[in-house]
């Protein structure tokens, strides 16, 4: 009997101030700074998005992290995949995860995604503004990086496939000689007493073969290209038109009911490698990007249910440990991309997940009772 699909939600830690963000964006900046000041940019545009049950939280508060984990566990999410920022030995936004690791709380699954990208002002219309550059100094830095993460890999809460900790890389194609690096980390993992590491690369091309580059599997979050023709063009409200008259910039707007069938990689693509489905419940990054943003207009829990059902179908033939679905994301509020409860829908997105997983479990129970009365 196959297991229930394993759900892993990407988790953003940018909900506490750090000195770098103070310098770049102003004193006290967190993700909530942009969320709170968001405004509607066209008729019926759902902004601002206001959190409900968890409020405008601070991830330095342990009770917040516990409440998040409780919500996720109660609704069928197995683990959080924490975004991890390593810039040639310099870490950013590391405090929440390190406290989770050091305290042992909450008792909830986790894994790590190295968000190995240069921080710039690209989503703010300033692509040439470099805040901190992602570099790859070489083997010594890779060794230090591995050593810094080893306590997490050894933790009993770490999410594994076939006994190996999952390590996700956001931009695998940017790591020079990635196979050499993954081979090094696998050897270091075995030397440390682990079975190895299970590498997953995130890549926008569904035909990208992870095995050619030293990875075990891939994920393809399918956001539409920004230069793609809009599915829906809506008249911006007057002040927006005036504000961006010179740049002629207004957000890209897609109807979620039209775009959600395209957010998953088709199962009929001929692949000889593992590509895990990644579901996107909602998207609106105009709080960060304004006119340079992209909106999945009128996303809703009922439409997300249809999207989730399609992802479940894609995993129905997968072996138990590999029956994974990634969720983008748990709490990317300034991108309008989250499962956490808000003032509009409450817990409904999470309830969709809980209900659909419960339906699978009921079906499995019926099969067991049918063949083994």
Query: Tens of pLDDT along the chain (373 residues)?
Result: 457 899 999 999 999 999 999 999 999 999 999 999 999 988 899 999 999 999 999 999 999 999 999 999 999 999 999 999 999 999 999 999 999 999 999 999 999 999 999 998 755 556 578 899 999 999 999 999 999 999 999 999 999 999 999 999 999 999 999 999 999 999 999 999 999 999 999 999 989 999 999 999 999 987 776 555 555 544 545 545 555 444 445 788 999 999 999 999 876 665 789 999 999 999 999 999 888 899 999 999 999 999 999 999 999 888 888 899 999 999 999 999 999 999 999 999 999 999 999 999 886 655 556 555 5
> What pLDDT is recorded for position 246?
40
> What pLDDT is recorded for position 263?
93
Domains, the chain: 6-371 (3.20.20.80)
Task: Identify whether the C-beta of residue 190 lies closer than 8 Å to the C-beta of residue 258.
Answer: no
From the list 281, 332, 335, the residue with the least C-alpha distance to 12 is: 332
In SS3 terms, 253-267 reads as EEEHHHHHHHCCCCC
- State how far the Cα of 224 lies from the Cα of 180, in Å rounded to an integer: 32
- State how far the Cα of 193 lies from the Cα of 120, in Å rounded to an integer: 38
> What pLDDT is recorded for position 35?
97
> What pLDDT is recorded for position 125?
53
Helix (H, G, I), strand (E, B), or coil: what is residue 294? strand
Contacts 24+ apart (CB under 8 A), 357-364: 357/4, 357/5, 357/7, 357/76, 358/76, 360/4, 360/5, 360/312, 361/4, 364/1, 364/2, 364/4
């Amino acid at each position: 009997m196959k297991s229930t699909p394993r759900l892993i939600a990407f988790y953003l830690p940018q909900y506490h101030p750090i000195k770098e963000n103070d310098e770049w964006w102003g004193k006290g900046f967190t993700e909530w700074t942009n969320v709170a000041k968001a405004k509607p940019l066209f008729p019926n545009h759902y902004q601002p998005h206001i959190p409900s049950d968890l409020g405008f939280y601070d991830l330095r508060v342990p009770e917040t992290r516990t409440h998040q984990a409780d919500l996720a566990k109660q609704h069928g999410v197995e683990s959080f995949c924490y975004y991890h920022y390593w810039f040639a030995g310099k870490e950013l936004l590391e405090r929440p995860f390190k406290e989770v690791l050091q305290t042992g709380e909450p008792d909830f699954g986790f894994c790590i995604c190295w968000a190995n990208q240069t921080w710039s002002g690209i989503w703010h219309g300033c692509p040439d503004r470099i805040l901190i550059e992602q570099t790859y100094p070489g083997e010594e830095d890779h060794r230090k990086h591995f050593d810094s993460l080893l306590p997490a890999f050894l933790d009993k809460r770490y999410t594994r496939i076939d006994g190996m900790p999952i390590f996700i890389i956001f931009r695998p194609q940017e790591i020079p000689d990635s196979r050499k690096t993954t081979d090094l980390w696998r050897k270091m993992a075995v030397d440390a007493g682990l079975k190895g590491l299970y590498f997953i690369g995130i890549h926008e091309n569904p035909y990208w073969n992870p095995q050619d580059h030293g990875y075990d599997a891939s994920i393809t979050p399918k956001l539409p290209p920004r230069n793609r023709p809009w599915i829906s063009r809506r008249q911006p409200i007057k002040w927006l038109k005036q504000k961006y008259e010179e740049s002629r910039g207004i957000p890209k707007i897609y109807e979620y009911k039209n775009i959600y069938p395209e957010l998953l990689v088709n199962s009929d693509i001929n692949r000889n490698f593992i590509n895990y489905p990644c579901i996107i419940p909602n998207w609106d990054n105009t709080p960060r990007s304004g006119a340079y943003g992209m909106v999945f207009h009128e996303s809703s829990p009922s439409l997300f249910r249809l999207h989730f059902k399609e992802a479940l179908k894609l995993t129905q033939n997968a072996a138990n440990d590999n029956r994974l679905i990634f969720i983008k994301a748990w709490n990317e509020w300034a991108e309008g991309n989250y499962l956490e409860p808000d003032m509009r829908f409450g817990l409904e997105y999470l309830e969709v997940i809980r209900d659909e997983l419960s339906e699978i479990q009921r079906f499995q129970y019926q099969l067991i009772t049918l063949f083994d009365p």
